[in-house]
Amino acid sequence: MSGKEIMFSPVQLGSIQLKNRLVMAPLTRMRAIAGDVPNPLAKTYYAQRASAGLIITEATQISPLGMGYPATPGIYSAAQTAAWKEIVDAVHAKGGAIVAQLWHVGRISHSSLHPEQGLPEAPSAIAASGQTYGADWKLHDYETPKAMSLDDIARLLKEFEMAAMNAKAAGFDGIEIHSANGYLLDQFLQDKTNQRTDQYGGSIENRLRLLGEVIESVSKVFPSDRVGVRLSPYGTFNDMADSDPVALFTAAIHKLNTYKLAYVHMIEPRSTSAGGGDQVYEDAPITSEMFRKAYQGQFITAGGYDQTMGEKVLEEGLADAVAYGRLYISNPDLAERFQKNASLNPYNRTTFYGGQELGYTDYPTL
């Protein structure tokens, strides 16, 4: 089959059936309303894109302390869960599949976003360099986070389990654990941010421990073949680095092989800014080539793909599905446009974060 024929053939990721291999990547849009409840417009936004084989929701915090930016939605309250249920029902009504991406940002936060909980939490008390948006939508220096105690980690595992229960109550087809882009679980993986001396730090095996425990916690709610994991090897976004990323992420893949997951979702380092810019680093390592062979299950690749590149990576067997982010923002009917080789709407970066309909639900379809 040609790459295009593969792209429009069905595929099963664990127990999740996809009608094609186009995945809408998780896209932070910062449009939640009071109580960190998804915006009523989100129902329209996601339903417009239901021709994707799979929609992965925007990153959704599992607790108030998991929040890292203003107006991002949560999945820890009854009101949030009810709003997500309406979104899921709207996507299912149009024949789509949708999973919730569960998120805790760790140190990439600011105490103004969760004043009752205080400082952000992280594996170690190491501040990220740079600035982030506080509750006032203005930039603030990163604070030095509180190093998590064993009690904090036990609480975190309960929060992941509760978030999975809410995702199940909302009717999601599965969940994706966000362990990429310099957020909390990635901070535990990489040794620039994890300098612990207990069972969660030091050796690669210890740094992988929390990710394994999170998978086990959410797998009490969803069978593991409805759970995906997102990773970003070599990603530098949010001031991340590891002294031996090949050894770390190879070990991570071997560990993930033991769980019989729905999929592993990897971000290509050439597009590491996580939506923060359009720069593509052509000489970056290609993780789908490095890690695909090691992973025994279904593999989603993301990061700066166009149609031709997506078809090529499928044809070469380096992925089972391809995730598109910015192109899905501006092309709700991206699948139909790819199928017809139609021209694409350009995206307007100034409307990515915050706001209402403009640049959210008003992009035209064919």
Rounded to 5°, angle at Cα 275 from 271 and 277: 75
Question: What length does the chain have?
Answer: 366
Nearest partner of 231 among 246, 253, 216, 213, judged by Cα:
253
Is residue 162 within 8 Å of residue 62, measured between CB atoms?
A: yes
Residue 83, both tokens: 């709003």
Evaluate whether 319 touches 299 at the Cβ level (below 8 Å): yes
Q: What are phi and psi of 83, to 5 degrees?
A: -65, -40
Exactly one of 46, 69, 133, 183 is catalytic; which is it? 183
CA-nearest of 320, 321, 204, 188 to 255 is: 204
Q: Is 183 among the residues known to form the active site? A: yes
Nearest-angstrom CA–CA distance, 164 and 222: 7
Q: How far apart are CA 65 and CA 63, in angstroms?
A: 5
Q: Rounded to 5 degrees, what are φ and ψ at 223? A: -60, 150
Q: Which residues are catalytic?
A: 183
